Structure 1
Amino acid sequence: MKKITFIFIIVSILGYTQGKENNNLDKSSVSTPLNQTTHTKKDHQIRKVKKAVIVPKLDGKMDDPIWKETLWYGLDQKWLGSSYEFNDFFGRYKIAWTPEALYLLVEIKDNILYDQHKDPLKLWWDDDCVEIFIDADNSGGNHQYTNNAFAYHVALDGNVVDLDQNQKPVLYNNHVSTKRVTNNDVSVWEFEIIVYDDSYKEGKVNDPLILNKDQKLGFAVAYNDNDGSAERENFIGSVFIPGEEKNLGWINADVFGTIILVE
């Protein structure tokens, strides 16, 4: 009887030890693939962007050769706010590239231009502004407090704001240059956008990307419209975002469209 009990105890200990080792192996086999998983964006709103032989002049006149050769695309997706009428807002854009930069032409019909915050780093999204979203490698994913992608808010006075890696607003006026010309209720904005990838570090020396044929970038553009309220009244973008929550561009680069640079 004692011999049988002793054998039972030995078998139980061996079984426990083996089970513990198998359990550890199971955990290891699960964690390794997760650590190796990389995020992949699903391309949508794929658009080819033509190269500009002559660099557009930032003058708000729309008469550069490249703008005569490219198509208008709409800013017609309501991301926030109530319905609006044509006399309140209408927007469209064109885009081109050179090896040194992206060039963006935006035409906005807005009956009231409103800039209530003179401090460019205070509630910048509640003033009228164009917002430009750039993901240099089209990788998608979270970029809220990283430089995986940028969400440049370009104010009426030309200041450019986004959040940095310390979750604080900073000026990126050396990334985006602009000229705006307004006649009556129509404003023409021209932008030159220097593209930086996710290696960008605030306060350091950073080399911009040299753009090339067949390169893919994540891209979207939007307009924050405020006609005199404490907060913006509408946020109107260029890309359809499914679901009820559409104010995602400043957080998730998956919602950006995809542009392909061609000659």
Structure 2
Amino acid sequence: MNHYIALTLIAAATPVLAWQAPHTDSPPLIDGIDSDSVWQAGEWRPIDKPMVGTLPAADDFSARYKLRWDERNLYLLVEITDDVLIDSTPNPLERYWEDDTLEVFVDADASGGDHLENHNALAYHIALDGNVVDIAPPGRADAKAAPALFNEHLDSAWSRSASAPFKLIWELRVSIYTPGSGDANLQRLSLSPGHQLGFMVGYCDSDSSDGRENLYTDVEIAPINGDRNRGYIDADTFATLTLIK
């Protein structure tokens, strides 16, 4: 029997949304091609909530994704339409949020709370060149919290159509790590039915080398002092994801 991602509104609660992710016995090959049998069933979840900027016309940007899991990883298939693709900064640790960038936010124990300069949760920024960046606590990259590579946490591959507006097919394999204050505390988790995570998917849309115009997510975030760009700071903005068999 096929399972589908189901959305449930949680009244006056944080996180705002909860949904379920189905198990797979046949993990996809991470090659940026959506022909794997695991992707042929199930509903899409839209990435259509503006966190920065406004939602444009569909041929400028639109995105959606599917999600699966097994005992070792989460798997995502992300389909994106984008009329301009930008990767203008060679150093992956500089201005990584200003290029076209896929984002995956994970709170392994759904505890919520601040994660800007700790590993209470992780905000993976996945560049077009495959590098994965988040802010690391002091001791990994610098004497203070600073951007660092987390390429060992996530594998990705993408393909695109030949002409604009480009249709991108992006596949990801995401390993889940226990929360911790520093790198020594990070331990890879085995996943099982009933496990709950904080989770969100986003996309930084850039149409020029001047920087990001928009940021979209799959979760509606209530603004604080007019600011919705809270995902990289506060895991309370994530939805709750329950793994089902």
Q: TM-score, normalization: structure 2?
A: 0.87
Matched residue type, 2:216: I
Equivalent-residue separation in structure 2 for 1:73 and 1:132 (angstroms): 14
Cα displacement (A) at 1:157: 0.3
1:38 — aligned with what?
A: none
Gaps of 5+ in 2: 1-12, 139-144
1:19 — aligned with what?
A: none
Aligned Cα RMSD in Å? 1.4
Cα displacement (A) at 1:70: 2.1
Gaps of 5+ in 1: 1-40
Equivalent-residue separation in structure 2 for 1:119 and 1:220 (angstroms): 26
2:238 — aligned with what?
A: 256
Question: Are residue 238 (structure 1) and residue 218 (structure 2) matched?
Answer: yes
Equivalent-residue separation in structure 1 for 2:137 and 2:175 (angstroms): 19
2:202 — aligned with what?
A: 222
**Structural mapping, 1:83-102, within 5 Å:** 83-102=55-74
- CA contact under 8 A between 1:74 and 1:93: conserved in structure 2? yes
Provide, for residues 171-196 of structure 1, a one-character-per-residue CA deviation record: whole Å limited to 9, x for no partner.
Answer: 00000100111113011110000100
Equivalent-residue separation in structure 1 for 2:54 and 2:201 (angstroms): 19
Cα displacement (A) at 1:83: 4.3
Provide, for residues 57-78 of structure 1, a one-character-per-residue CA deviation record: whole Å limited to 9, x for no partner.
Answer: 1112212222122210000001
- CA contact under 8 A between 2:137 and 2:181: conserved in structure 1? no
Equivalent-residue separation in structure 2 for 1:216 and 1:143 (angstroms): 18
Higher fraction of helix: 1
- CA contact under 8 A between 2:48 and 2:55: conserved in structure 1? no
Query: For 2:76, what is the secondary structure of its paired residue?
Result: strand
1:190 — aligned with what?
A: 171
Compared CA separation, residues 232 and 122, structure 1 to 2 (3 A): same
Percent of paired sites with the same residue = 36
Equivalent-residue separation in structure 2 for 1:45 and 1:66 (angstroms): 24
Equivalent-residue separation in structure 1 for 2:146 and 2:100 (angstroms): 20
Q: TM-score, normalization: structure 1?
A: 0.81
**Greater C-alpha Rg:** 1
- CA contact under 8 A between 1:50 and 1:70: conserved in structure 2? no
Which of residues 50, 70, 80 is equivalent to 1:78?
50
Equivalent-residue separation in structure 2 for 1:82 and 1:229 (angstroms): 19
Higher fraction of strand: 2
Matched residue type, 1:195: I
2:131 — aligned with what?
A: 159
**Structural mapping, 1:8-157, within 5 Å:** 42-157=14-129
Query: For 1:151, what is the secondary structure of its paired residue?
Result: strand
Count of aligned residue pairs for this structure pair: 222
Matched residue type, 1:175: H
Matched residue type, 1:65: S
Query: For 2:35, what is the secondary structure of its paired residue?
Result: coil
